[in-house]
Amino acid sequence: MAPWALLSPGVLVRTGHTVLTWGITLVLFLHDTELRQWEEQGELLLPLTFLFLVLGSLLLYLAVSLMDPGYVNTQPQPQEPKEEQTAMVPQGIALRRCRYCLVLQPLRARHCRDCRRCVRRYDHHCPWMENCVGERNHPLFVAYLALQLVVLLWGLYLAWSGLQFFQPWGLWLRTRGLLFATFLLLSFFSLVAGLLLASHLYLVASNTTTWEFISSHRIAYLRQRPSNPFNRGLTRNLAHFFCGWPSGSWETLWAEEEVEEGSSQAV
Q: How far apart are CA 31 and CA 29, in angstroms?
A: 6
Q: State which residue, 31 or 136, has the beta carbon closest to Zn ion.
A: 136
Q: Is 116 in the site for Zn ion (CB under 5 A)?
A: no
Q: Is 115 in the site for Zn ion (CB under 5 A)?
A: yes
Type of residue numbered 96: R
Binding mask 61-100 vs Zn ion (x if CB under 5 A, - otherwise)?
A: -------------------------------------x-x
Q: How far apart are CA 59 and CA 143, in angstroms?
A: 12
Q: Is 112 in the site for Zn ion (CB under 5 A)?
A: yes
Q: How far apart are CA 143 and CA 197, in angstroms?
A: 9
Binding segment for Zn ion (CB under 5 A), chosen from 119-127, 164-172, 206-214, 240-248, is 119-127
What is the residue-wise DSSP string for 168-211? Answer: SHHHHHHHHHHHHHHHHHHHHHHHHHHHHHHHHHHHHHTT--HH
Q: How far is the CB of 243 from Zn ion (least distance, A)?
A: 25
Q: State which residue, 71 or 241, has the beta carbon closest to Zn ion.
A: 71
Binding segment for Zn ion (CB under 5 A), chosen from 106-114, 176-184, 198-206, 225-233, is 106-114
Among 51, 55, 101, 143, contact with Zn ion (rule: CB under 5 A)? 101
Whose CA is closest to 71, among 99, 109, 128, 127?
Answer: 109
What is the residue-wise DSSP string for 19-87? Answer: HHHHHHHHHHHHSSSHHHHHHHTT--HHHHHHHHHHHHHHHHHHHHHHS---BPPSSPPTTS-HHHHHH
Selecting among 101, 112, 115, 126, the annotated active-site residue is: 126
118 is catalytic: no
Q: State which residue, 132 or 158, has the beta carbon closest to Zn ion.
A: 132
Where in the sequence numbering do the catalytic residues fall?
Answer: 126
Binding site for Zn ion (CB under 5 A): 98, 100-101, 111-112, 114-115, 118, 125, 132
